[in-house]
Chain A
Amino acid sequence: MNAINRYELYVLDEGEKSVEVTEDTKIPNAATIKIVKQDHTLANLLRSQLLGYPSVLFAGYKAPHPLQPHFLLKIQTDGSITPAAILEKACTDLIGMVATLESKFKREFTMNNVEGGVQEDAYGVPTSGAQWESGGSYVDLG
């Protein structure tokens, strides 16, 4: 078939650069950053993180075409920092936030495990032995 491999949506091609920064020629302190093989998951996260910084005047993204696996992130700053630098700062801040969240999740999970959370029946089905072996008594979702 002539369909493209679906993994090309998220795997970089041979020698392909994941990020491309284009300085804006008409707007001061602005840049359009093309991020390849990523989607709204990353784009919207970065956009809203960038908008939280006082030195960012504008931050927005668009995914130009749903079949093209890249998005464009446009950033304008007040000049105290370059768009690429503030984007990097956004990433480091977010990674830090995710790391704290991760450790909090870990703590919560261990606390719940001690209370025996995992030992519960995971399927909400009464554990009545080999009722499935007899055949015919499936959970019929159809």
Chain B
Amino acid sequence: MQSSDAEPIVRIRDLKKNSVNFVLENVDLSFANSFRRVMIADIPTVAIDMVEIETNTTVLPDEFIAHRLGMIPLVSTMCDEAMRYTRDCTCEVRCQYCAIELQLNVACHEANTTMHITSNMLEVVPTNKPGSYGSYDTDDGGEELAKRVENFGHPIGKDDPDVPPILICKIRMGQELRVRCIAKKGIAKEHAKWSPCSAVAFEYDPHNKLRHTSYWYEYDARAEWPLSENAKEEDPPRDDVPFDYNAKPTKFYMEVETDGSLGAQEVVHKGLQELQTKLANLILGLKPEPPENDAFQSGAGAGGGALGGQPNGAHDSSQLGGWGMPPPMASGGSAWSPPRAAGGAAGGAWGSSPARTGGGGGGGWGSPAAAPWGAPAGGSAASGSSGGWGSPAAQGWGSPAQQTNGWNVG
């Protein structure tokens, strides 16, 4: 996107629960593509990751069934706040904050009928009681469970007669399938089963005016190739206009279709937030490493600045103005920090709660939910530059979280 360009425009043409069709205008091709990539590969969801087969007398081998179970979309609404990555969790193996247990226990006793084992037969084991393998972490105080929707982790469409269940296996009399599944949070860069998107359609320049592609043809490409629906949105090419080799695509037609684990709207919003997170982490990484400060010193230093100025770094409103306050801060930051702060005060343990190594001054910042911007790139980005939050240049980032955390109060 060139800075001289007009503001980006978005127009939603069709919105359903699991798909959204929109036109994106006045953005750069690279941005549209990054947006597409981020929606496909960088948004966390929940999926079955480990399967313990207790009995499998079906015709399908164990690994076949394990794979099929992994591909089943599970309800993952608000996944980034409602669940932790197992690798970030404080528990030893797994706990209710970082894993969801599902069970499948089906046997066919009827003669001459084929029984269908479907995703609807997967039962989520309730997380409010200790599991059989010490999977319940009692004294943690995480807020994740409160953020979960009622059917979090359930196979999609369970208890909804309008949604066809997903067939896992067919069995006949005497056959049985008994398995225990552990669902975990992950992103599609690790395995495609964690992708919330079943498809993302992406098109620009339907008339090929920019000649980014070349058509194979017998006699005349324009007569032989059908035009896409989106061609109606743009003027057809005129033969009397010479080819503009400086022209750039500005209008992008996208359709985001999800597998049901997240709604289409959530995927779009999380995608944009994820892009912001990536960029913000890069800014943090570019900041020179400041001299190592004691936690209280840096807290006090930033506190002074924060009290004097606007929380969003008004000293450079031209650059920071727009993005200091919108969603990432609101959802990533303030959503979790008040309960965090409250929990910390009650337990008196904010310094020791994080699983991530805060290192020196980093302690509080490296809490499992990470700093507002630190979610994916995680621990070391947030903790390594912990002093950076306090430096004047970083006030735009540092101060709101500090104020919400009540750091500068003490």
Is B243 interfacial (CB 8 A cutoff)? no
Is A29 interfacial (CB-CB < 8 Å)? no
Question: Which B residues from 1 to 25 make CB contacts under 8 A with A?
Answer: 1-4, 7-12, 14-19, 22
- Taking residues whose C-beta sits less than 8 angstroms from the other chain, chain B's interface range is 35 or more
Asked if B42 is at the interface of the complex by the 8 Å CB criterion, the answer is yes
Q: Which residue of B lies closest to A84 (CB)?
A: B286
Say yes or no for B379: interface residue by CB 8 A criterion. Answer: yes
Kindly identify which residue among A44, A93, A102, A121 contacts B33, using a CB–CB cutoff of 8 Å. A44
Interface residues of B in 177-197 (CB under 8 A from A): 186-187, 189-191
**A113 vs B355: C-alpha distance in the bound complex, in angstroms?**
40
Report chain B residues within 8 Å CB of A105. Answer: 10, 268-269, 272
The reply to whether B34 and A99 contact each other, CB–CB distance below 8 Å, is: no
Question: CB within 8 A of B379: which of A12, A111, A135?
Answer: A12
**B165 with A132: CB separation less than 8 A:** yes
Q: Is the CB of A99 within 8 A of B16?
A: no
Contacts of A63 in B (CB 8 A): none
Closest to A47 in B: B30
Smallest Cβ-Cβ distance to B319: which chain A residue: A92
On whether the beta carbons of A42 and B34 are closer than 8 Å, the reply is yes
The distance in angstroms between the C-alpha atoms of A40 and B35, with both chains bound, is: 11
Asked whether B127 is an interface residue with its Cβ less than 8 Å from the other chain, the reply is no
Among A15, A84, A104, the residue within 8 A (CB) of B9 is: A104
Would you give the 0/1 interface string for A25-54, flagging 1 where the beta carbon is closer than 8 Å to chain B?
000000000010110111011111100110
Instruction: Say yes or no: is B206 at the interface (Cβ < 8 Å to chain A).
Output: no
A98 touches B323 (CB 8 A): yes
- Does B276 sit within 8 A of A, measured CB to CB? yes
Q: Which are the 5 A-B pairs with shortest beta-carbon distances? A: A19-B285, A122-B17, A117-B15, A18-B285, A48-B30
- A residues touching B (Cβ–Cβ < 8 Å)? 6-7, 9-19, 21, 35, 37-38, 40-42, 44-49, 52-53, 84, 87-89, 91-106, 108-109, 111-113, 117-118, 120-123, 125, 127, 129-133, 135-139
